[in-house]
Structure 1
Amino acid sequence: MMSIEQLTTLFGWLSIINIVLLSFSAIMILAFKDFITQIQSKLFKLSATELMPIYFRFLAQYKLLIMVFNVTPYLALKLMI
């Protein structure tokens, strides 16, 4: 069984890793927008105007999941210590 300190450390690192991945994804989408939309429009038969809202919806949902499943448990455990 894991102690509260170990769980706090685990959720802290999970939060950091996922926030870095979210930031990297956002930077890549913004920096290489034309290249990414060109490839994915061919793969999924969607136009570039249809893909941008999908990208931002993905980023928003990923951010929400990080907050709910990583950051919130971390903060709750930090308050318990």
Structure 2
Amino acid sequence: MEDLTTLTTFVGWCTVISIGLYLFSAIVLLICGEPVKTLHSRMASVPAEKLDEMYFTFLANFKLAFIMLNLVPYVALRLMQG
């Protein structure tokens, strides 16, 4: 049972960190959208008009990966502990 508790704690903290990174990314894009677009446009030579779609795709993929790789395992481990 100790190993299951340790694993649950580990996955729980991974979930918290992932939520923090997701929220940080979303808030930065929401609040500082234009400066970030300008920077990314210059760094990657991508037209600024295309970046909105790319940001949306990034956040959608991040959220999907977060749910599948962090949240679902955490919930499963919590259910296994009873």
User: Is 1:7 the counterpart of 2:12 in the alignment?
Assistant: no
Q: Which runs of no fewer than 5 residues in structure 2 stay unpaired?
A: none
Q: CA RMSD in A?
A: 1.1
TM-score with structure 2 setting the length: 0.92
- Residue identity (%): 38
With 27-36 and 40-49 compared, the bigger mean Cα shift is at: 40-49
Question: What is the aligned partner in structure 1 of residue 23 from structure 2?
Answer: 23
Q: Report the residue type matching 2:10 in the other structure.
A: L
- Cα distance in 2, alignment partners of residues 31 and 47 from structure 1: 20
Question: Structure 1, residues 2-29: CA drift from partner, whole Å, max 9, x if none?
Answer: 7111111111110011001100000001
TM-score with structure 1 setting the length: 0.93
The number of residues matched between the two structures is 80
Question: What is the aligned partner in structure 1 of residue 62 from structure 2?
Answer: 62
